[in-house]
A = this chain, B = another copy of it.
Amino acid sequence: MAEDDDSSKPSASHPPNPLLDDAGPLADPQERRVIFAALDSFHQYRPNAHYNTTHRRRQNLYALPSSQWQMLASPPLSILDTLNAVDDALDHNADLADEIVRLGLAAFGLPEFTPKDSVMNWQGKAKANDISKAHSTIRQFYRDWSHEGFTLEVEPLLRTVISDLESYLPPIQANVGLPSLLLPGAGLGRVLFELALRGYHATGNEISYHQLLASNFILNASHHANQYQIYPFCHTFTNVVSRSNQLKCHTVPDVHPGEAFSQRLAAALPVGEMNMTAGDFVLSYSTPESKDTFDGVVTVFFIDTAPNLVRYIETVRNCLRTGGIWVNIGPLLWHFDDRAPGGAHNHDDEDDHDHDHDDDHREARTNKGSPDQPSSRHRRDSDFEEDKGIAEPGSFELTNEEVLLLVSRMGFEMIKHELLPAHSGYIQDPHSLLQNRYRCSHWVARKVDVVDP
């Protein structure tokens, strides 16, 4: 599962492509199925988005009495013009999705067209849930790689992380190499990139092929800053103040990673290596080979993706050297809160084993209003029937106070802790009439020598 190949670590200006690992993920039928579903889901973004966003609304409109739809179609409402403008916006998003597919196919050495009966035929493999992940991944470019999204949602967290690292793990120390950091749940790689840029050897880990394909594209294959136009909120017809808000254009990436590295290097400033590994965090980093590997672990909006938090904490402890620093910032939206008893073991089909749960989490983050609602529970159960999720038996959901106690108990000294005010959005349209904001739990812990669990 984990393709963490240290020998292939590239230089900072040429981040690695975990899809090309020697392990050859396409050789494994289960892995292949997940990769093909992810590729196909981006391929299907364009027709799916048009169908669900504008085609269905045109159908609904024409189902109205003609006097009504004609009034809505006339100025000043001009609702059909709006739907045409949304179609144009969707096409820009789809252009980005198509680029992700193109690069992904090239990375795996796959042709665009394959005979239908070929085992290498990737088309038509995405299920509804995969396509929904492609949609959320496109929206996530807003958070990570647009100027406004990064400034509003990521930069404040990043500043906190950097301030902690400068206090407890400064990038430049006498007679020591650059510190190494692990970032589980690296997603589209923005925090990873920012930390490497500031002189840390930064390794990201990510389980989702949707995220891996998209981060590979933005980190390695965009040609210049602001190359692509995206319309992250153009699908949203609810809680909208004005059409100009709904149709606001953002460009990505706001920073070109290669250029940024080059500028730092030209100024003789240290930059770190940037590395991405594919696979489940626990399986990848709880091994004896990973023991005491990193100087720091940075978890941003990550720990609540745990099927089992004890395993996450054990894994952080395993791969962190004694004295190493764990910086955490994020809420506690436990993504396995409402899984069925016994977890995925209750399901027959475990094809997606270890693959989809992290994507499911991201959807949970952006979809769940009040996760304890029974109907939300029902939705999630049906998601699991489709997704399977990670086959980790048992789950439990701790309060923030209890998480702090557990981390302390499991071999960490809690250096500092605070609850931040409710300022953190997650792919939040700042103009929407509905504002979902997280209060983040922020803490810094140090791995201590003696464990007494």
Q: Please give the residue numbers on chain A whose beta carbons come within 8 Å of chain B beta carbons, in ascending order.
A: 48, 52-53, 56-57, 59-64, 68-69, 71-72, 76-77, 79, 128-129, 131-132, 135-136, 233, 235-243, 245-246, 304, 308, 310, 331-334, 337, 339-343, 363, 366-379, 382-383, 393-402, 405-406, 409, 419, 422, 427, 432-441, 453
Contact = CB atoms under 8 A, between A and B. Distances in A.
Q: Sorted from nearest, which 5 A-B pairs have the closest CB atoms? A: A59-B341, A64-B394, A237-B397, A132-B374, A63-B394
B334 A237 contact: yes
A78 to B, nearest CB: 9
A309 to B, nearest CB: 10
A393 B241 CA distance: 25
A439 B431 CA distance: 9
Query: Which has the most chain B C-beta neighbours within 10 Å: A331, A434, A438, A440?
Result: A434
Contact of A129 (B76, B371, B375, B453): B375
Nearest to A236: B372
B331 A239 contact: yes
Contact of A128 (B132, B240, B374, B394): B374
A440 to B, nearest CB: 8
A398 B241 contact: no
A16 B332 CA distance: 45
Contact of A333 (B246, B333, B434): B434
A373 B378 contact: no
Contacts of A129: 375
Q: Which of A52, A308, A371 has the most CB of B within 10 A?
A: A371
B56 A396 contact: no
A62 B342 CA distance: 9
Contacts of A374: 48, 52, 128, 131-132, 135-136
Interface centre among A79, A242, A419, A439 (most CB of B within 10 A): A439
Nearest to A55: B341
A63 B400 contact: no
Contacts of A440: 433
B453 A71 contact: yes
Given A52-B374, A60-B393, 8 more contacts: A60-B339, A60-B394, A72-B396, A237-B337, A242-B401, A331-B433, A367-B368, A435-B436
Given A63-B393, A394-B60, A242 B400 contact: yes
Nearest to A304: B238
A373 B136 contact: yes
B433 A132 contact: no
B371 A433 contact: no
26 contacts: A56-B340, A59-B342, A60-B341, A60-B394, A63-B341, A64-B393, A76-B402, A77-B405, A136-B373, A136-B374, A233-B372, A235-B372, A240-B400, A241-B399, A241-B401, A242-B399, A243-B401, A243-B402, A245-B399, A366-B373, A367-B376, A368-B369, A382-B382, A419-B433, A422-B435, A432-B439
